[in-house]
Structure 1
Amino acid sequence: MQLKQAFFASPGPQTKRDALVLAIKGVCMGVADIIPGVSGGTIAFITGIYEDLIAAIKSFDLTFFKRVLTLQFASALSEVHLRFLVSLLCGIGIAVVAMSRVMHYLMQAYPVAVWSFFFGLIGASIVVVGGKIGKLDVVRLLALLIGAVAGFIIVGMIPVYTPETLGFIFFSGALAICAMILPGISGAFILLLLGKYEFITGALKHPFNGENGLIILVFVAGCVLGIMGFSRLLNYFLKHHHSATLAVLTGFMIGSLRKIWPFKEVLETTVIRNKVYVLREQNILPGSMEDALMAAGLIVVGFCAVYFLERRMAKPGNAI
């Protein structure tokens, strides 16, 4: 089997339209991943590709690597979900390159509007995903509560300054990538908690300066190991404990609403490497009726966007 035939034999979108739709979903995931506090995993859930994403990552197993090492490239290529990942990663890459500056500006200039819109997105996601849990028995309710409490605590943790050793960079990559595919918990936010968001993004901006290449390589290695291991764990629970797993993930999203509440008051900050970090903040009520109505309107817009998207994805022939 030739490599081209093997590539098109691998699982993934069947038509150019399907590939384009999947890439657009990737763009949405990429935009979400830019913002610390918003998860690309949540967007994957919203757009109906979450379980496909986990399965695609899991397809890169020991058998694949054995075939690569024995030069059975076509055989290896036909088994992994490469076409799915290529389309999705193209969209994510486009978003990261094209939208990072835009989202940074919007977050700086209109933070309440951005957080309000995402609050609506995640609020609707909770309803959509929660509706797939089924009847809330004791086990599912306990799983939901565990997820909510864990999400609430994690997003309220204080960013810290941590070592810049290669071992800790590897650990940071492994942990951040796991969070990135969890709905409700952002990989970028985990890097903030670990004190490595500015450090890693700085290395990415100047990959050929000094030791930045080594830092990026070690970080990526941590990401690869982390996502390969964690995707298998998630895949197992989704297969064998589907409803309870959905309950935990829904709980994570409920808990994460603490971070995404639009109105905040900063209580304490610190400066590390000329960058201001928020140490403590608290959620507050809107300062005026005008602010409240604006936020409420954008929450409704975000909620409706997910609702109509979910309705469209539910129609036969629209799912990827």
Structure 2
Amino acid sequence: MVLKIVQYYLPVTIKGILMGAADVIPGVSGGTIAFITGIYETLIASLKSINSSALRKLFRFEFRSFWKTINGSFLLSLFLGILISIITLSNTIVFLLENHALLLLSFFFGLIIASAVVIVRKVKTHSLIAWTAGLLGMLSAFLITSLSPVATPESWWFIFLSGAIAICAMILPGISGSFILLLLGKYSFVLEAIKEFNVAVIAVFGVGCLVGLLGFVRILSKLLQRYHDQTMMLLAGIMIGSLTKVWPWKIAVADAVADGKKALLFSSNVMPETYLQATGSDPMVTSVMLLMATGLILVFFLEYVSAKTHNNLADYSS
């Protein structure tokens, strides 16, 4: 039994670690990594299964049935990986973001392009409606990632709403939940609350995340069931539209130069020649191209590995 658990769920924990690392990067979504590693639809279905029927089993102390209903081993393995990543890798990712952003973003740029290709390959019928959904997804992501932050209240209801919206964005491939928080004017506020262990703010924000997540996955699940191809193209479009946030060569806007994270989020995309002229730094074109290619290759390799292991995981969890 222990050997089977390690065999089937250790890879899920590793995928959770990758998701957690991606969530630390402003402009990169953990949902993208879930798609890359072939667990996105399993994640949506597992979260959707946390409903009133499952909770009744829990309250009746039918723990084994409850655990099986919600695919508990999968969710535990995944969220354990995310937690491990946030605790152990966040400082490393932040260091790379602040000191080697050009190379880090190049890698994620390749990842996201290949991920969009993988999603499109899952589409069975390339109808006009499906391609229209893809175009709408691309335009929506482009518009969202072009917005500027606004001043917002610090009332409990808005903190709750911020959590609900941010978690929905986080589970969507291509849109960063941390970026949405920054747009809502609550990125620094929430980080400060976590740093100071402000239980009231953390609790309200956490409940908002939980409500938003459990509600949103039901919508996504229904869309995937009834309009699979259109939804897949919509998600692919969102990922393509979000590429502007991970374009490697950026020039920070004047009021964000002193802040590494703001410099990444609020900046102008330029070509390598303009980057060299504006910053005096080497655009490292060859290294960027190699890292983009590495990201592309890694996605297709992970897709191959996931295809080999996905059936075994599904059989074991059923």
In the alignment, structure 1 segments of 5+ residues that lack a partner are: 1-7
Q: Which has the higher helix share?
A: 2
- 1:5 aligned residue: none
**CA-to-aligned-CA distance 1:185-233 (integer Å, 9 cap, x gap):** 01111111111111111211221xxxx1000000000001000100000
Partner of 1:269, secondary structure, is: helix
Q: CA offset at residue 264 of structure 1?
A: 1.1
| Matches of 1:311 and 1:64, distance apart in 2 | 33
2:66 alignment partner in structure 1: 76
1:131 is aligned to 121
Conserved 8 A contact 1:155-1:256: yes
Superposition deviation, residue 151 in structure 1: 0.8
What percentage of aligned pairs have identical amino acids?
43
Match of 1:23 in 2: 13
Work out whether 1:294 is the aligned partner of 2:310. Answer: no
Which residue of 2 is the match for residue 262 of structure 1? 248
- The equivalences for 1:26-175 within 5 A come to 26-175=16-165
Q: Distance in 2 between matches of 1:169 and 1:193?
A: 13
Matches within 5 A, 1:213-228: 213-228=199-214
TM-score of the superposed pair, with normalisation by structure 1: 0.89
Cα separation, 2, equivalents of 1:237 and 1:14: 33
Instruction: Quote the Cα distance in structure 2 between the aligned partners of 1:276 and 1:155.
Output: 14
For 1:310, give the aligned amino acid. Answer: E
Amino acid at match of 1:164: E
> Which residue, out of 280, 283, 307, partners 1:314?
307
Q: Distance in 1 between matches of 2:251 and 2:218?
A: 40
CA RMSD, 1 decimal? 2.3
Secondary structure in 2 matching 1:215: helix
Quick check: 1:268–1:280 contact (8 Å CA) kept in 2?
A: no
2:200 paired with 1:251: no
AA paired with 2:169?
A
Contact kept in structure 2, 1:159 and 1:277, CA below 8 Å: no
Tell me which residue corresponds to 1:236: 222
TM-score by length of 2: 0.89
**Structure 2 Cα separation of the partners of residues 195 and 319 of structure 1:** 44
Summarize the Cα distance change of 1:66–1:15 in structure 2 as closer, same or farther, 3 Å threshold: closer
Structure 1 letter corresponding to 2:33 = I
Of 136-145 and 310-319, the range deviating more from structure 2: 310-319
Match for residue 185 of structure 1?
175
Instruction: Report the number of matched residues.
Output: 304
Match of 1:196 in 2: 186
- For the residue of structure 1 that corresponds to 2:284, the secondary structure is helix
Cα separation, 1, equivalents of 2:164 and 2:229: 26
Indicate the larger mover: 62-71 or 16-25.
62-71
**Take 2:206 and 2:111, find their aligned partners in 1: how far apart are those partners?**
29
| 1:49-90 C-alpha deviation (Å, 9 max, x unpaired) | 000000111111011223334444444333221111110011
Aligned to 2:272, what secondary structure does the other structure show?
coil
* 2:17–2:85 contact (8 Å) kept in structure 1: yes
Q: Once the 2 structures are TM-superposed, how far is the Cα of residue 161 of structure 1 from its aligned partner? A: 2.8
SS at 1:282's partner residue?
A: strand
In structure 2, runs of 5+ residues without a counterpart are 277-281, 314-318
Q: Does the Cα contact within 8 Å between 1:313 and 1:319 map onto a contact in 2?
A: no
Q: Which stretch shows the higher mean deviation, 155-164 or 171-180?
A: 155-164
| Partner residue, 1:4 | none
Offset from partner CA, 1:223-275 (integer Å, 9 cap, x none):
0100010000000010111010000000000000011101111234269xx99
